[in-house]
Chain A
């Protein structure tokens, strides 16, 4: 890590740690939400930015984890020590099954199949009222009770809990994309046939990336179920998948910081704009179109262009 990068990271960590002292609980909750969606977007970026697989069904893993947490907490009364890992396991398992199906296809078919597979789960959550509560969802999920001396119910402790989880996951993601495995993924993204010729098992790499991305999305889903204290079918909906895709591309696919920034921007904008108008979806649609037309490589790409123009290249 270059000294400048280390300084920026340290400053960022300090700011994040100090946030509860600067923000009211309303904005602290918003910051928690931004962190969770940053993780969700980074998990999708492992697929899109590194493995080159554009998924339109990433909400499946987020939602499965959230529903597992909700069902175990409310219907079984399980402790968070059980529900949280179970949510992670459910998302990973769903990823392991869906990965086998989805990776039979490529390109457009991959988009369609991931979308359709996610919508199956949405259909189950929506239709199976006796288990999932249908479109009423599962309200009143308690904040996690880990049996620690301090409670996680308030805004500040839950923010720190989320920060710890998202920070650890982000660090792990950085390790993954910098590992030989991560470089092999980039190679497959650029030219699968060459990687095959070099003796790499491309399918296995993509499959592992798919399952890993599902697991990280599941972590975001677990955190969000406890954060929002509610789970509903919209967690699984293609709108959420597409929103994640937008976060990744708005920030800049293929970098981990970009999608995290993209997620923060979208969550913040949604919050600000929804306060003034009912027309958030219309504006979000406009953002999709504008990003595609004017910033196809995302905010990170814009900064890059600006820098290289300034340095006169």
Chain B
């Protein structure tokens, strides 16, 4: 395996992580037209909660379960009691989610302090595998597998289940969907919670690679934004393709142009914007 292939694998695994983080943002926007600026906070909170659980119990799986559950509940509360009041009113929604972003960031700083931390990898994923003549960390391959599995599950949920059909109906025409007796309000809460769950999953799984630190919420949010701008809001396929594109660009950029790391992501983003303002797979 060449250095080049190693960068590519790193990029793909990071891209899968970005897919987890961006898929929720995209689903939420697709159905509710909410731009959730607190989406990166789900990553941050889940990372810290996961770390606390691992320190207390030593179990990575338990950390995933507790952190995702807690953050999913936070997401549901945010939607049900705050954002719902401003349905389709983008400015107040943006401000609200910004308020939550600040509040969560400061709470996390208060509780867990300002030192950057890394979640320990579980023992069963800590090793590496031989790929050709090089060793490659097993954990990154695991991330790729999780990303693919989540992508497949989401696709099946959207295309193959009754709930998914309701979701698609809600995205296409909310009023008609309501008229047909679909409980769109419940759907809103469910999808918002699902988005929070995906970002939380990204937080615990990404913790061993990106780490958790004050400001991680902004960094993650920004990357997720770029992913959905590139891929198009409201599209799962867009989140996946966008995630991979951004993951690869970020990895090669950091490797070859370290001082301009962000540029290698943003220049292609600007180029895509110039040609297709709604992203590769987005609709108006």
Interface residues of A (CB under 8 A from B): 54, 56, 101, 104-105, 107-109, 111-113, 115-117, 119-120, 123-124, 127-130, 237-239, 242, 245-246, 249, 279-282, 284-289, 291-293, 296
Q: Are B225 and A116 in contact (CB under 8 A)?
A: yes
In the complex, the answer to whether A279 meets B92 with C-beta atoms within 8 Å is no
In the complex where A113-B273, A127-B261, A128-B259 touch, is A286 in contact with B99 (Cβ < 8 A)?
yes
A249 contacts across to B, CB distance below 8 A: 91, 95
Q: Are A293 and B35 in contact (CB under 8 A)?
A: no
Interface check B157, CB cutoff 8 A: no
Contacting pair B222 A288 (CB below 8 A) = no
**B94's closest neighbor in chain A, by CB?**
A111
Select which of B94, B104, B222, B259 is within 8 A of A127 by beta carbon. B259
Chain B residues whose CB sits within 8 angstroms of the CB of A296 once the complex forms = 92
Q: Which of A111, A239, A288 has the most CB of B within 10 A?
A: A288
Does B90 contact A108, Cβ atoms closer than 8 Å?
yes
- Option from B35, B105, B110, B260 in Cβ contact (under 8 Å) with A112: B35
CB distance from B278 to the nearest CB of A (A): 7
Distance in angstroms between the alpha carbons of A75 and B280 in the assembled complex: 42
Contacts of A129 in B (CB 8 A): 259
B35 and A279: CB pair below 8 A?
no
The minimal Cβ–Cβ distance linking A78 to chain B, given in whole angstroms, is 25
The residues of A that contact B112 with a CB separation of less than 8 Å are: none
Bound CA span A56–B37, Å: 11
With A104-B277, A293-B85 known to touch, is A123 a contact of B35 (CB < 8 Å)? no
Which residues on B sit within 8 Å (CB–CB) of A130? 259
The answer to whether B94 and A279 have CB atoms under 8 Å apart is: no
Additional A-B contact list (5), CB under 8 Å, known A116-B225, A119-B222:
A129-B259, A238-B222, A246-B95, A285-B99, A288-B96
- B9-44 contacts to A, CB under 8 A, are 29, 33, 35
Distance in angstroms from B210 CB to nearest chain A CB is 16
Residues of B within 8 A of A107 (CB): 90
| Interface pair A120/B263, CB less than 8 Å apart | yes
Is B228 part of the binding interface, using a Cβ–Cβ cutoff of 8 Å? yes
Q: Do A127 and B260 touch across chains, with their CB atoms under 8 A apart?
A: yes
Quick one: given A111-B94, A116-B269, are A238 and B261 in contact (CB under 8 Å)? no
Seen from chain B, the residues whose Cβ lies within 8 Å of a Cβ on chain A are 29, 33, 35, 82, 85-86, 90-92, 94-96, 98-107, 109-110, 218, 222, 225-226, 228-229, 233, 258-263, 266, 269-270, 273-274, 277-278
**Partner pick for B102 among A101, A108, A237, A284, CB 8 A cutoff:** A284
**Chain B residue contacts of A109, Cβ below 8 A:** 229, 233, 277-278
Whole-angstrom distance between the alpha carbons of A296 and B90 in the complex? 12
Known A242-B98, A292-B99; judge A108-B29 contact (CB<8 A). yes
Closest-by-CB residue of A relative to B261 is A127
B262 → chain A closest CB, angstroms: 3
The 7 closest A-B CB pairs, nearest first, are A288-B99, A123-B262, A285-B103, A285-B102, A282-B106, A281-B106, A289-B99
23 CB contacts below 8 A, A to B, read A101-B273, A109-B229, A109-B277, A120-B263, A123-B266, A124-B260, A127-B260, A128-B260, A237-B218, A238-B218, A279-B106, A280-B106, A281-B109, A282-B103, A282-B107, A282-B110, A285-B101, A285-B105, A288-B98, A289-B82, A289-B99, A289-B103, A292-B96
Chain B: CB-nearest residue to A284: B102
Given the complex of chains A and B, what is the CA–CA distance between A115 and B151 in angstroms?
Answer: 27
Closest approach, in angstroms, between the C-beta of B45 and any C-beta of chain A? 14
Measured in the bound complex, the distance between the Cα atoms of B64 and A48 in whole Å is 41
Contacts of B90 in A (CB 8 A): 54, 107-108, 111
Min C-beta distance of A95 to chain B, whole Å: 15
> Which single residue of chain A is at the shortest CB-CB distance from B260?
A127
Selected from B92, B99, B269, the residue in CB contact (under 8 A) with A287 is B99
Give the distance to chain A from B239, nearest Cβ to Cβ, in Å: 14
Provide the bound-state CA to CA distance between A238 and B86, in Å: 23
Contact of B95 among A116, A120, A292 (CB under 8 A): A292
Shortest distance between the CB of B27 and any CB in chain A (Å)? 14
Q: Which residues of A have CB within 8 Å of B33?
A: 108
What is the minimal beta-carbon distance from B29 to any residue of chain A, in angstroms? 7
Give the CA-CA distance A293 to B84 in the complex, in Å.
11
A242 nearest in chain B by CB position: B98
Give bound CA distance, A246 to B101, whole Å: 14
B100 touches A285 (CB 8 A): yes
Let me know if A124 and B274 touch, CB within 8 A: no
The residues of B that contact A237 with a CB separation of less than 8 Å are: 218
Give the Cβ gap from A114 to chain B, nearest Cβ, in Å: 11
* Alpha-carbon gap, A113 to B233, bound state (A): 12
* Residues of A close to B109: CB separation below 8 A: 281
Q: Would B105 and A281 count as touching, CB distance under 8 A? A: yes
Q: Which residues of A contact B277 (CB under 8 A)?
A: 104-105, 109
Q: Please give me the residue from chain B that is nearest to A103 by CB atom.
A: B277
